């Protein structure tokens, strides 16, 4: 049980560290907060809240994973290396896909509420 709580603390430390030093993570935190406020003002249904919260959590998680991959790459090599570029660009690509899709889904969801 103690190991479980320790692991939880380390994970939480990771979230706090990301929130302190990672510019993109801070941006997504703020964007997520604004979306939640917009959700309350719009009056989302339970199912719509599920979608919105999963999108926000997914975005934040991916952003942290991207930062972790960047750090591992930087740790492995300080040299310019095609594999380092591929690893970083692939991770950034994953973030990009999720961000664009989240934006589209979120926009459709909110727009359908506002204009109905």
Ligand X SMILES: Nc1ncnc2c1ncn2[C@@H]1O[C@H](COP(=O)(O)OP(=O)(O)OP(=O)(O)O)[C@@H](O)[C@H]1O
- Applying CB under 6 A, which residues contact ligand X? 70, 77, 80-81, 84-85, 88-89
CA distances from 115 to 16, 55, 102, 107 (A): 38, 22, 20, 12
| Cα R_g (the chain), whole angstroms | 17
63 in active site = yes
For ligand X, give the closer residue by CB, 45 or 78: 78
User: Catalytic residue among 22, 48, 63, 70, which?
Assistant: 63
CB of 52 to ligand X, least distance (A): 28
Q: Of 34 and 76, which CB lies nearer to ligand X in the complex structure?
A: 76
Nearer Cβ to ligand X, position 24 or 42?
24
Among left, alpha and beta (phi > 0; psi -120 to 50; other), residue 80 is: beta
Taking the complex as a whole, the smallest distance from the CB of residue 57 to ligand X amounts, in Å, to 22
DSSP per position, 84-110: HHHHHHHHHHHHHHHHHHHHHHHHHHH
Q: How far apart are the first and last CA of the chain?
A: 50
Active site residues: 63
């Amino acid at each position: 049980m103690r190991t479980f709580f320790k692991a939880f603390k380390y994970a939480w430390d990771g979230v706090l560290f990301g929130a302190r030093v990672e510019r993109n993570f801070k941006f997504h935190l703020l964007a997520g907060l604004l979306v939640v406020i917009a959700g309350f003002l719009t009056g989302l249904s339970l199912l719509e809240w599920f979608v919105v919260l999963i999108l926000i959590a997914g975005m934040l998680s991916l952003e942290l994973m991207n930062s972790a991959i960047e750090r591992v790459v930087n740790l492995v090599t300080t040299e310019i290396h095609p594999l380092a570029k591929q690893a970083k660009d692939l991770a950034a690509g994953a973030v990009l896909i999720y961000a664009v899709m989240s934006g589209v889904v979120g926009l459709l969801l909110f727009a359908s509420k506002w204009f109905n």
